[in-house]
Homo-oligomer: A and B are copies of this chain.
Amino acid sequence: MELIDGKATAAQIRKEIKEEVNSLLKQGHKAPHLAAILVGHDGASETYVNLKVKDCEEVGFRSTLIRYEDNVSEKELLNKVIEINKNDEIDGVIVQLPLPSHISEEKVIETIDPSKDVDGFHPVNVGRMSIGLPCFVSATPAGVIELLRRYKIETEGKNCVVIGRSNIVGKPMSILLAQKKYPGNCTVTVCHSRTKNMKEVTSNADIIIAAMGQPGFVSADMVREGAVVIDVGTTRIPSTETKSGFKLAGDVKFDEVAPKCSYITPVPGGVGPMTRVSLLKNTLSAAKKEIYR
């Protein structure tokens, strides 16, 4: 069994990004610039946004954090997005979700210029990904694909089972892994809450992508000997062991599943760090105008 070290891989990618930023600066270009919008004071959202800002600093990006109280109007938020769209100094923009219920997330996302949509949530980017055109792929699926690539995991003709059909993980994972390139060319099965024969399906998988958001959902009896298991679950559960009062739980019962695997990602330290670094990669791409001119 080989552990897929997302933390180390992400550190390596951050180093590569930093080098590229330095070379951009030397060529007289400006540093990539990410704007993040945070509404309200949700603890998890604050943590995520702060990490994103910190990540930017570490690789030499500029970042701008724009904060609103819970009672900001939809119109004010949309106007800010439009202002950022027009601002040539900013390369990428993210709006931390969820938003308060009086604001339409759909409207906010669709207002972001697709060429600055480094979260890859805009329908134009989702559609282009599905069609196989250049686009911003959302951070978690992009991170998983990058892990498979860096660990040179064979995917062609493999049975890949994606557990979960969310818009930000399950669906894009299933599309990417069936695409006609590496990593891809898998025979992909999407399972979800309505799947009746879950164990039978997962037991046939060469590669399992667990993205249900249910701690410990995948047990050893659901996994074939030699399978590759990617655990996307990052549910925050209360804990007395940590200073913050919570810890992250994956969708896989790691202790019992790991011995059966050829490769497995831990939680924390697997997909999570790759998700974070994927946002940086997208922001760098946006700054370099690699996807949209």
Residues on A lying within 8 angstroms of B by beta carbon are: 106, 122-133, 156-157, 159, 165, 167, 171, 174-175, 178-180, 185, 187-192, 194-197, 201
Query: Which residues of chain B are near A180, meaning CB under 8 Å?
Result: 165, 192
User: Given the known A-B contacts A187-B196, A190-B178, A194-B157, are A106 and B133 also in contact in the complex, defined by CB atoms under 8 Å?
Assistant: yes
Q: Give, as a whole number of angstroms, the nearest-CB distance from A156 to chain B.
A: 6
- Rounded to whole angstroms, the CA-CA distance of A124 and B106 in the bound complex is 13
Name the one of B130, B179, B188, B194 contacting A130, with C-beta atoms under 8 angstroms.
B130
Query: Which residues of chain B are near A128, meaning CB under 8 Å?
Result: 123, 126-127
Inter-subunit contact A190/B174 (CB<8 Å): yes
- Rounded to whole angstroms, the CA-CA distance of A99 and B63 in the bound complex is 44
- Rounded to whole angstroms, the CA-CA distance of A171 and B128 in the bound complex is 12
Name the one of B131, B165, B178 contacting A126, with C-beta atoms under 8 angstroms.
B131
Query: Which residues of chain B are near A130, meaning CB under 8 Å?
Result: 126-127, 130, 167, 171, 175
Return the chain B residue nearest A157 by Cβ: B196
Query: Which residues of chain B are near A187, meaning CB under 8 Å?
Result: 189-192, 194-197, 201
Inter-subunit contact A185/B178 (CB<8 Å): no
Q: Give, as a whole number of angstroms, the nearest-CB distance from A64 to chain B.
A: 27
Query: Which residues of chain B are near A106, meaning CB under 8 Å?
Result: 133
Query: Which residues of chain B are near A165, meaning CB under 8 Å?
Result: 178-180
Scoring A122, A130, A133 by chain B CB atoms within 10 A of each residue's CB, the highest score goes to: A130
Q: Which 8 A-B pairs have the closest CB atoms?
A: A127-B127, A123-B127, A126-B127, A189-B189, A157-B196, A185-B194, A187-B195, A123-B128
Given contacts A126-B130, A174-B190, 7 further A-B contacts (CB under 8 A): A123-B133, A132-B167, A174-B174, A174-B178, A187-B189, A188-B190, A189-B190
Q: Give, as a whole number of angstroms, the nearest-CB distance from A291 to chain B.
A: 12
Query: Which residues of chain B are near A131, meaning CB under 8 Å?
Result: 123, 126, 167
Query: Which residues of chain B are near A132, meaning CB under 8 Å?
Result: 167
- Rounded to whole angstroms, the CA-CA distance of A241 and B246 in the bound complex is 73
- Rounded to whole angstroms, the CA-CA distance of A129 and B123 in the bound complex is 9
